[in-house]
């Protein structure tokens, strides 16, 4: 397979000024006519060949400046030699035929239950017509769509329409990956937005008839996002319309096509009866994320795909800020760190570790990863912590001013910070080019009123990067007295040497340090901390993240001690939780997070980190045991909370009520271990919202009960695809380890299992890989089941198959028996005759 390298980047020989496309839609034979005006790129002097990307296209005709050309495309595109091209500029015209109904990869133009839609990021446009499909070629687009379907949409503003056709014009130059087209029998929920400068924008969310009553929250989130981006980043919307379309078959979460965002329907459609609070929060976040891309991604885009984090890291950072502003910064930070550790640390500490800005790839779709997105966002947060809020704002202003309309690089991004602050950021830039999670080891000492923190940094070797250089790491630190009083408010220490000392003088007593407040850097902190110190932090830290973190580390250590030597959980730990449950000043959402035990995969990661071999079955048993013991110890509090957090008044998905429901469900999950499900059955029967219905069902399934409720749930929701995904997923995720693979296989044989629908496939096959003890069952049945399905899906939808293969990325943690089983499955995938470039690259990297 061909490896693409950042070092080989060369500017495009030919630029495009204007594109005009005509689509005559037909499921089996769509005709696409293109008129593209090319101009020689002054940045690539000389007279060059023309290369146009194109895949699976039937070329019907081609003309240059009106003159017919006979060209024979290869499998990846076509080349016109320079000798056959006019100099300076010319007009390319072509007609191709494509078959959207046969497009199961869901990339390019495809069909989803009767509607046409597109997905062009990263390289889908080349499946629509011949084009220089690279993000540094930006052009304005005119599109005409001809079809009998009633709703015909493309990017930009509508210019004209009649029976069976519509025309669109997008005045903003854009790369082809932002092209979009939708045609279908759709209805809109509509609204208007007046921008800060007084421009009226028509907002529409397009869905299938019957779903129009499930768009109100997405619309509300969109309007709040538009206002927020004006207020916080000074970014105004720039077209007359903003359209969002919900699609059932979609590989990703959503896509930020200019003026026409296309969403996986699960991130648009919501009603209290069908969507959980978590679904609502996801909708708010993803609507905001795609909207924010209009400036960070669309107006300023990426020069090449190695720069993906330029738009994704920044846009994730922006959506995190937004959610924090809309809800709770403390809770949001904890949630983000939970995700970062569960997904990015896992990736960064295994065979798939890669730079935030990768330097090589075989298939770019394989790099839409937690590292590019979530670690990418952490780098923005660190940069802001290092330069300060005012400088961050000034740098962003300069970024928008200097680079509007351009395709940029990480160097451009760093330079706006250097130019604003006059600070040399070359060491900081290593964060983009060095993979692996840094370790920060802490030693401290105390004498004569002076407290010294000695910090050591190191980064373990990652594939292809044996040696690492020191990074600049912002470590936010505060100091507490033994009584919990704050002696030193937060200061940000800049750790830039391999080892560095920081002194705090004039202290009245030896302090309890609160290190890495707010999780100020994406590192693993290594420090021997006494339980007494943790108890002080858990009870008193003024930094909510570290307060939560203290409880988290206590819980982790309790679990590790149970796993290692059956040690009973300390009463100090259980009492610490009890005090949280009784603290009326605490946000219920925070308490719910404090009650959440580290997941089985987190524990496996922690054991591996400590140089031990995790036993998934043992981890599962001990985690369950702790859930049970904890519920016994705290039964009274849990009862009280479950009653006190019952809903009053109409359902509202906002943070307050959602936090109360999260805590209520957490209490219920504990109590269900004690009463065999009596309370949960009652909650299931009386719930008037999906959060409580699903909370009750999950609690029941977790203790191996709930058969009646499961059947009732199916009967109630068999007509709702998104709810049915939950029904599929939950059963697999909560199946007992011995029965998990069998449960998944049973569900894969269910008449409602549509394996070509990515959401349904993820529910069952992804559900099994989320069931750690079931997936890693010593029989190997879990591995086999997942590999079987990936091999089956791969030739149809390589992108989703490749993404889901990360289930195996932790294989080196396990015992020789499991490693051999996984290796055999990876090799079986690798030798599949239909192996795609996507899955091939992933499996190859995992095998090393």
- Decide if 549 is catalytic: no
C-alpha distances (whole Å) from 331 to each of 97, 559, 734 are: 51, 24, 26
In the region spanning residues 114 to 143, those forming contacts with ligand DPP, defined by CB under 6 A, are 121
The option from ligand DPP, Zn ion, none interacting with 255 (CB < 5 to 8 A, set by class) reads: ligand DPP
| Cα dist from 413 to 284, 313, 385, 553, whole Å | 27, 12, 16, 36
How many whole angstroms separate alpha carbon 801 and alpha carbon 718?
26
3-state helix, strand, coil in the chain (%, to 5): 45, 20, 30
Q: Which of 107, 211, 312, 336 binds ligand DPP (CB under 6 A)?
A: 312
**Minimum CB distance to Zn ion, residue 255 (Å):** 8
Sign of the four-CA dihedral 830, 834, 839, 844: positive
Least distance to Zn ion, CB of residue 357, Å: 16
Using DSSP, state whether 798 is helix, strand or coil.
helix
Per the residue annotation, which of 290, 312, 549, 702 is the catalytic one?
Answer: 290
**289 makes contact with ligand DPP (CB under 6 A):** yes
Residue 260's CB is within 10 A of a number of other CB atoms, namely 28
Q: Respond yes or no on whether the N-terminal peptide bond of residue 702 is cis (omega within 30° of 0).
A: no
From the list ligand DPP, Zn ion, none, which binds 252 (C-beta under 5 to 8 Å, kind-based)?
Answer: ligand DPP
Only segment of 221-229, 253-261, 589-597, 795-803 that touches ligand DPP (CB under 6 A)? 253-261
Look at residue 415 and give the partner it binds from Zn ion, ligand DPP, none, a contact being a CB closer than 5 to 8 Å depending on partner kind: none
Q: Residue 733 binds what, of ligand DPP, Zn ion, none (CB under 5 to 8 Å, by partner type)?
A: none
Q: What is the dihedral of CA 362, 365, 370, 371, to 10 degrees?
A: 40
The nearest distance, CB 312 to Zn ion, in angstroms, is 5
- Which range binds ligand DPP by CB under 6 A, 130-138, 286-294, 784-792, 830-838? 286-294
Sign of the dihedral through C-alpha 153, 156, 162, 165: negative
> Between 133 and 533, whose beta carbon lies closer to ligand DPP?
133
Residues 303-332 that bind Zn ion (CB under 5 A): 312, 315
Smallest separation (angstroms) from Zn ion to the CB of 186: 24
Task: Please say which residue, 266 or 642, places its beta carbon nearer to ligand DPP.
Answer: 266
Taking CB under 6 A as the rule, does residue 255 contact ligand DPP? yes
Rounded distance between C-alpha atoms, residue 7 and residue 585, angstroms:
55
**Is 382 a residue that touches ligand DPP (CB under 6 A)?**
no
Pairwise CA distance, residues 579 & 574, whole Å: 9
* Cβ-based nearer residue to Zn ion, 254 or 589: 254
Minimum distance of Zn ion from residue 617's CB (angstroms): 38
CB of 320 to Zn ion, least distance (A): 12
- The answer to whether 454 and 443 are in contact (CB under 8 A) is yes
- Using CB under 6 A, which of the segments 62-70, 249-257, 401-409, 476-484 binds ligand DPP? 249-257
Q: In whole angstroms, what is the distance from residue 441 CA to residue 462 CA?
A: 19
Q: Which is nearer to ligand DPP, 57 or 252 (CB)?
A: 252
What pairs with residue 460 in β-bridges? none
Site string for ligand DPP, 9-28 (x = CB under 6 A): --------------------
What DSSP string describes 746-769?
HHHTSTT--TTSHHHHIIIIIHHH
Locate 636 and state its tokens.
Answer: 């009274």
3-state secondary structure of 424: coil
Cα-Cα-Cα-Cα dihedral sign, residues 69, 75, 77, 80: negative
Contact 441, 456 (CB under 8 A): yes
* Least distance from ligand DPP to the Cβ atom of residue 180, Å: 12
252 contacts ligand DPP (rule: CB under 6 A): yes
CA distance 138 to 16: 7
How far, in Å, CA of 534 to CA of 546, rounded?
10
**Minimum distance, C-beta of residue 302 to ligand DPP, in the bound complex (Å):** 10
256 touches ligand DPP (CB under 6 A): yes
- Beta carbon nearer to ligand DPP, 314 or 768: 314
**Residues in binding contact with ligand DPP, number by CB under 6 A:** 9
* 293 or 327: CB nearest Zn ion: 293
Asked if 283 touches ligand DPP (CB under 6 A), the answer is no
Buried residues in 295-307 as b, exposed as e (16+ CB within 10 A): bbbbbbbbbbbbb
Segment interacting with ligand DPP, rule: CB under 6 A, options 96-104, 251-259, 359-367, 384-392: 251-259
Site residues for ligand DPP per CB under 6 A: 121, 252, 254-256, 289-290, 293, 312
Catalogue the active-site residues.
Answer: 290
Task: List interacting residues with Zn ion (CB under 5 A).
Answer: 312, 315
């Amino acid at each position: 397979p061909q490896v693409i390298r950042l070092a080989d980047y060369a500017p495009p020989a030919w630029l495009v000024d204007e594109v005009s496309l005509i689509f005559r839609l037909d499921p089996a034979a769509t005709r696409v006519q293109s008129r593209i005006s090319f101009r020689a790129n002054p940045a690539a002097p000389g007279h060059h060949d023309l290369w146009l990307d194109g895949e699976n296209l039937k070329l019907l005709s081609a003309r240059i400046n009106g003159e017919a050309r006979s060209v024979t495309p290869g499998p990846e595109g076509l080349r016109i030699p320079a000798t056959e091209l006019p100099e300076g500029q010319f007009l390319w015209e072509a007609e191709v035929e494509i078959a959207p109904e046969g497009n199961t990869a869901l990339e390019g133009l495809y069909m989803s239950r009767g509607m046409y839609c597109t997905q062009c990021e990263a390289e889908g446009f080349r499946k629509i017509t011949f084009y220089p499909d690279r993000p540094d070629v930006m052009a304005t687009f005119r599109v005409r769509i001809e079809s009998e379907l009633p709703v015909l949409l493309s990017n930009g503003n509508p210019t004209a329409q009649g029976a069976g056709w519509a025309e669109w014009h997008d005045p903003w130059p854009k790369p082809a990956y932002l092209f979009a087209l939708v045609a279908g029998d759709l209805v809109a929920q509509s609204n208007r937005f007046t921008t800060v400068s007084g421009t009226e924008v028509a907002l529409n969310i397009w869905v299938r008839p019957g779903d129009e009553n499930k768009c109100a929250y997405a619309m509300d989130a969109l309007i709040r996002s538009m206002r927020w981006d004006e207020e916080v980043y000074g970014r105004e919307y720039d077209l007359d319309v903003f359209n969002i379309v919900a699609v059932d078959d979609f590989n990703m979460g959503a896509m930020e096509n200019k003026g026409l965002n296309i969403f996986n329907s699960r991130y648009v459609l919501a009603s209290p009866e069908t969507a959980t609070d978590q679904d609502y929060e996801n909708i708010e976040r993803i609507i905001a994320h795609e909207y924010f891309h209009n400036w960070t991604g669309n107006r300023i885009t990426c020069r090449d795909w190695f720069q993906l984090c330029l738009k994704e890291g920044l846009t994730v950072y922006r959506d995190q800020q937004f959610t924090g502003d809309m809800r709770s910064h403390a809770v949001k930070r904890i949630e983000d760190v939970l995700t970062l550790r569960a997904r990015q640390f896992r990736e960064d500490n295994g065979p798939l570790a890669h730079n935030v800005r990768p330097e090589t790839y075989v298939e770019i779709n394989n790099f839409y990863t937690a590292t590019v997105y979530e670690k990418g966002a952490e780098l923005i947060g660190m940069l802001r912590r290092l330069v300060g809020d005012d400088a961050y704002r000034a740098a962003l202003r300069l970024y928008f001013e200097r680079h509007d309309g351009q395709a940029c690089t990480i160097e451009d991004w760093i330079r706006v910070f250097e130019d604003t602050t006059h600070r040399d950021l070359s060491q900081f830039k290593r964060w983009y080019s060095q993979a692996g999670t840094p370790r920060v080891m802490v030693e401290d000492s105390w004498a004569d009123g002076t407290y010294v923190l000695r910090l050591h940094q190191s980064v373990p070797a990652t594939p292809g990067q044996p040696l690492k250089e020191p990074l600049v790491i912002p470590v936010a630190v505060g100091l507490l007295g033994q009584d919990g009083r704050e002696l030193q408010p937060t200061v940000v220490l800049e750790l830039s040497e391999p080892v560095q000392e920081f002194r705090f003088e004039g202290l009245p007593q030896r302090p309890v340090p609160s290190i890495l407040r707010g999780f100020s850097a994406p590192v693993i902190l290594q420090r021997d901390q006494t339980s007494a110190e943790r108890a002080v932090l858990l009870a008193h830290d003024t930094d909510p993240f570290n307060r939560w973190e203290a409880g988290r580390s206590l819980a982790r250590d309790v679990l590790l001690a149970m796993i290692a030597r059956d040690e009973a959980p300390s009463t100090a730990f259980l009492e610490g939780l009890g005090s949280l449950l009784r603290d009326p000043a605490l946000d219920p959402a925070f308490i719910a997070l404090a009650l959440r035990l580290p997941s089985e995969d987190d524990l496996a990661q922690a054991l591996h980190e400590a140089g031990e071999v995790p036993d998934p079955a043992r981890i599962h048993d001990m985690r369950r045991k702790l859930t049970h013991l904890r519920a016994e110890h705290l039964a009274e509090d849990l009862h009280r909370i479950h009653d006190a957090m019952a809903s009053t008044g109409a359902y509202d998905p906002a943070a307050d009520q959602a936090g109360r429901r999260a805590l209520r469900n957490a209490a219920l999950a504990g109590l269900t271990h004690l009463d065999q499900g009596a309370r949960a059955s009652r909650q299931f029967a009386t719930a008037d919202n999906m959060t409580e219905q699903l909370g009750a069902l999950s609690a029941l399934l977790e203790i191996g009960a709930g058969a009646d409720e499961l059947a009732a749930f199916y009967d109630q929701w068999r007509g709702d695809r998104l709810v049915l995904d939950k029904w599929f997923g939950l059963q697999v995720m909560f199946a007992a380890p011995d029965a998990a693979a069998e449960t998944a296989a049973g569900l894969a044989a269910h008449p409602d299992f549509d394996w070509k629908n990515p959401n349904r496939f993820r529910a069952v096959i992804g559900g099994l890989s989320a069931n750690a003890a079931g997936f890693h069952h010593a029989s190997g049945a879990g591995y086999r089941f997942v590999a079987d399905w990936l091999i089956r899906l791969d030739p149809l939808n390589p992108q989703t198959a490749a993404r889901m293969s990360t289930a195996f990325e932790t294989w080196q943690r396990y015992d020789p028996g499991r490693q051999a089983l996984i290796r055999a499955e990876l090799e079986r995938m690798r030798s599949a005759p239909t192996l795609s470039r996507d899955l091939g690259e992933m499996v190859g990297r995992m095998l090393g």
